Structure 1
């Protein structure tokens, strides 16, 4: 009986060893590491002459204007980012200041000695945007004073400005011939906030 038991046990062990070593399994591993999402940069720059672009840059400074005198402001906006720009707008923030004490002529007519009046007489005579050889005249802003356009969104460009593409903006401002003694020695500070959208 012992012999039958030992033979049976050996048979079971041989069977189990055959099952373990007789069956093959194929296997493989595939990996995907360092996957990521990222975005590019959306960036515009401003320049006085189109040679070098900045994020913050003074474009103009005109002094000693006479009634009827015109000055032309020219600047360039460049798409320095990775995506096309579809719209560009500008908001003018105009602050009028009395530049020192009132002159003898001004004191007779200026009833607001702490606030300047100059922006009321600075009028847009011409306003153009040029892109890719095409010039668009922005007639809806012509004839308006800087005071009237203060904190108003001015639409400069609509289309497709590609990466490294630039637009030229030309704005001619005239000190109205109606400007009187109330704006003598006044200063208008003009901040331009330019916004581009995808």
Structure 2
């Protein structure tokens, strides 16, 4: 009798526990439905960021432009003579060039020793033309830059060109060289190799 009573009480207690668990589950489910709201999603795909192109090039005639090009060759230069070298610079990029510089690198050399030069030249392995040949001026797009310095003096020096270039725009450059009248026999049959480096920046 006691055991069946205990069994009944145990069943009642278990039923109450089950009801509590079921009730809590139903309450949680209803709570979830009670706080639901409208939702939506928007997606943006294929977005991109690209950099600009920054590129300058040079040309002798303005028809075809190159990253590297021999711009001038002068021979039989005489004392008292002035010669002009012309070329063009183009902004081939998509960004405005706000600063443009030109840097000179100079190397003197002997072509051969003529008898007249040999009589006054004590350095047969080294040319003297750079001591005499003068860059008088650089003219670019209506702006004249007076230089009046020998090429030896300009070796390694950088000159800022007063011009800006919009995308696809070109600028014409003229450089005036002069061999002074008092240039003596020491620079006869001498040569000079000139490298021009053009640097552009925003």
The alignment's TM-score, normalised by the length of structure 1, stands at 0.82
Aligned residues: 189
**How far apart are residue 21 of structure 1 and its match?**
5.8
1:149 aligns with one of 154, 157, 175 = 154
* Deviation digits for residues 109-151 of structure 1 (CA, Å, limit 9, x no counterpart): 0011111001122122342111xxxx01112x0x322122221
Residue aligning to 2:101: 89
> Deviations 1:26-84 (Å, cap 9, x if unpaired)?
44444455555432121111111111111111000111212222221001111111211
Residues 82-121 of structure 1: pairs in structure 2 closer than 5 A: 82-100=94-112, 102-121=113-132
Q: Does residue 171 of structure 1 match 2:175?
A: yes
Tell me, yes or no, if structure 1 residue 80 matches structure 2 residue 92: yes
Shift in alpha-carbon separation, 1:152–1:14, aligned structure 2, 3 A = closer
CA RMSD of aligned residues (A): 2.7
Q: Using the alignment, how far apart are the partners of 1:14 and 1:194 within structure 2? A: 80
The answer to whether the aligner puts 1:66 opposite 2:78 as a matched pair is yes
Structure 1 CA distance, aligned partners of 2:159 and 2:34? 82
Distance 1:67 1:18, change over 3 A: closer
Which stretches in structure 2 are left out of the alignment for 5+ residues?
1-7
User: 2:26 & 2:200 partners in 1: Cα distance?
Assistant: 80
Alpha-carbon shift at residue 9 of structure 1 (Å): 3.2
Structure 1 residue runs of 4+, over 3 Å off?
Answer: 1-6, 8-11, 13-38
User: 1:22 Cα deviation (Å)?
Assistant: 6.2
Q: Using a 3 Å threshold, how does the CA distance of structure 1 residues 45 and 14 change in structure 2: closer, same or farther?
A: closer
Structure 1 or 2: more helix by fraction: 2
Bigger radius of gyration among the two: 2
2:5 maps to which residue? Answer: none
- Structure 1 residue runs of 5 or longer lacking an equivalent are none
Worse-matched range after superposition: 65-74 or 106-115: 65-74
Q: Secondary structure in 2 aligned to 1:138?
A: strand
- The structure-2 alpha-carbon separation of the partners of 1:24 and 1:44, relative to structure 1 and needing over 3 Å to count, comes to same
Question: Are 1:129 and 2:136 matched, yes or no?
Answer: no
Shift of 1:20: 5.7
